[in-house]
Amino acid sequence: MQRVFLDEHSIKENLYPFAQTGPVSNLRVGILTIKEKWEKGIGQGAVVVENEKDSRNFPANQIPGKSFFEQLSNANPEEDSSRIINYPWDLISINDWAIREDFKILTKKKISDLIPENVEVVNVRDIFIEEGATLNHCFLNASTGPIYIGKNAEIMEGAFIRGPFALCEGAVVKMGAKIYGATTIGPYSVAGGEIKNSILMGYSNKAHDGYLGDSVIGEWCNIGAGTSNSNLKNNAGQVKVWHKRTRSFIEVGLKCGLIMGDYSRSAINTSFNTGTVIGICANVFGPGLTPKYIADFSWGFEGKQKYTWEKVQEHINNWKKLKNSAVSETEIQNLKSIFDRS
């Protein structure tokens, strides 16, 4: 049995807000989480361990591709066979590459389910459908990258999808959605409206009209109807994003949309500023454009009030019930620890 230890001790703070609520290896980029990539890439008998003793060690922010594992047994793999994420916005920039790499791993020696006759497709050889998926009168264009449809996922009528694209297990694309690559819709998430180059980690909803672009949305989030984000400044200048560890704004390039931590939500018709960072469990509402940074457990975005702990537990439980789940005791303890420090 091959044992791999993914070391995250020195990197968690840089990956705020996503590394607060779980290990870095639980982050999803491409189709799989980082941990799942290692387990599937190494093959049967692989295990990602929590103790570095008697294991081969790698940084948890190293994202392996297919060729990385092919070279692993011989020597140190070539630099181009993996990617490094130092900041949350790096997930956006590598998602195209990561979907393509995961697609190769997940579809190797497997046969796709049949594509229904009522579905329009371009470049069928780069479309893979797992068992139990439901597709109706939609359009799949894989000429710009592969399209992966996970087990028991659903794409409703009138949806237009351009690859690279990943719809993970149990996730849903609603009627009339327009989705551009490179986009990942994580497990049991719901996607609607217009989405481009974005990641929904899992169990989150962007179910209605509105624009989501160049963004990363954590787990158990909800984006209200009509909500849109800006991903490009009006002067087409460099976007600056709040970096919590250094308490400063960092230039990240010409495009960056919304970075939203786990359990956060926005009211209907919220307008997110370019390069906005939201902490965990924030209830976002208020007039006009949002501030560029909204802290953990915020109530509204004007900084006048904080979520009460009782409401935190009640509201997260309510959202989890909608997906037939419940808050674990471990989650509660972790959230309470973060709440007390915020």
- Residue 39 predicted with pLDDT over 90: no
CATH code linked to domain 120-309: 2.160.10.10
- Sheet containing 139-141, strands listed edge to edge, beginning at the edge strand earlier in sequence: 120-122, 139-141, 160-162, 178-180, 194-196, 211-213
Compute the half-sphere exposure of residue 84: CA atoms within 13 Å on the CB side of its CA: 8
pLDDT of residue 10: 82
For the chain, the farthest-separated pair of C-alpha atoms sits apart, in whole angstroms, at 58
- 15: tokens are 């990956």
Distance CA 30, CA 183 (A): 8
Share of the chain above pLDDT 90, in %: 82
The pLDDT tens digits for 262-316 are: 999 999 999 999 999 999 999 999 999 999 999 999 999 987 789 999 999 999 9
Mean pLDDT on 39-45: 75
How confident is the model over 44-50, as a mean pLDDT? 63
Over residues 46-72, the mean pLDDT reads 79
Q: With 0-12 CB in 10 A as exposed, 13-18 as middle and 19+ as buried, what is 38?
A: buried
d(CA 263, CA 21): 10
The pLDDT value recorded for residue 184 is: 98
If one compares 222 and 41, the residue with the highest pLDDT of the two is 222
pLDDT at 49: 65
Q: In this structure, what DSSP letter does residue 56 have?
A: E
Mean confidence (pLDDT) of the chain: 93
pLDDT for 142-180, tens place per residue?
Answer: 999 999 999 999 999 999 999 999 999 999 999 999 999
pLDDT of residue 3: 77
Name the residue with higher pLDDT: 53 or 225.
225
Q: Yes or no: say if 270 and 289 are a contact pair by the CB < 8 Å rule.
A: no
Q: Which residues contact 294 (CB under 8 A, 6 or more apart)?
A: 276, 277, 278, 279, 282, 284, 301
Q: Where are the domains of the chain?
A: 2-75+84-107, 120-309
Q: Give the helix/strand (H/E) hosting 160.
A: strand 160-162
99-119 tens-digit pLDDT: 999 999 999 989 999 999 999
Length of the chain in terms of residues written = 342
Question: Which amino acid does the sequence have at 103?
Answer: F
User: Span 203-222, mean pLDDT?
Assistant: 98
Torsion of the alpha carbons at 249, 250, 253 and 258, rounded to the nearest 10: -50
